[in-house]
Amino acid sequence: MRAAFVTGGSSGIGLAAARQLAARGHPVALFARDAARLEAARQSILEGCASARVEIFAVDVRHRDALNRALQEAMELLGAPGVAIACAGIAIPGLFAEQTLDQHQLQMEVNYFGALNFVHALTGPMTEAGGGRIGLIASGAAFFGIYGYSAYAPSKFALRGLAEVLNVELAPAGIQVTLAYPPDTDTPQLAAEKLTKPPATQAITEGGGLWSADAVARDLLQGMEQGRFVVASGVQMKLLNRLTSLIAPLLRWHQRRIIRRVGR
């Protein structure tokens, strides 16, 4: 069974997905910034599945060259992945007039460029290995502008746009792309987010319930296995997806029809 590579693999949805993938027999490579937290994540996976193979790489997804080196090392150990999930992310809510440009840049670098760096480096090796599955993590903030998310939402809008394009461009190479829209998830990231979330933002984003990371990861992996482009977990995300993307499936079908007719 081919390996699974997961960024943001030291906690939250990334760690939950890694646990489930390891339990299914995938060798797992985890990528995150903190070496100590990565080792703790590796041990937690091994506690649930002693036979698992788990490799860890302390790297910041914003730093392209360092990430490329870590990915190359992981592929030398485990081969090109059959599953690649970009879970590394950060959210720092706040009002536009009060947040610094550095805060805007940080969230774009982690949430968008971090995922872009990861997927771009793996597309060639995955294609040569016969394809695979890529998972990207969006947000309800990628559906419409939300008060308090001027720095965060654009990074997820950008990721959504990338996923839409990759969904049609990578399909001929046998690579299935899945874009997940998780509701509020009980993770360290959510706890950090609440520290700066304006009261109005809290009120706007309520209603989707609080999901466990395990439940969100289970939904994501099931959707990836079924070849679904969109995984919207929970009633709130499903409604947002249906109401804001009514003709998107038709447009994707139309593009694929043209691609098949005229070739690459």
**Joined tokens for residue 106:** 């940080």
**Joined tokens for residue 189:** 């990231």
Question: Would you call 161 helix, strand, or coil by DSSP?
Answer: helix
The answer to whether the CB of 29 falls within 8 A of the CB of 153 is no
Residue among 112, 147, 149, 156 flagged as catalytic: 156
Question: Would you call 172 helix, strand, or coil by DSSP?
Answer: helix
**Joined tokens for residue 45:** 């996976």
Q: Which DSSP string do the residues of 114-137 spell out, in sequence order?
A: HHHHHHHHHHHHHHHTT-EEEEEE
Q: Is 181 a catalytic residue?
A: no
Q: Cα–Cα distance between 231 and 258 in angstroms, integer?
A: 25
Residue among 112, 149, 152, 181 flagged as catalytic: 152
Q: Cα–Cα distance between 219 and 152 in angstroms, integer?
A: 23
Q: How many residues are given for the chain?
A: 264
**Joined tokens for residue 213:** 């990371």
The burial of 63, by beta-carbon neighbours within 10 Å (0-12 exposed, 13-18 middle, 19 or more buried), is given as middle
Q: Is 238 a catalytic residue?
A: no
Give the catalytic positions in this structure.
Answer: 152, 156
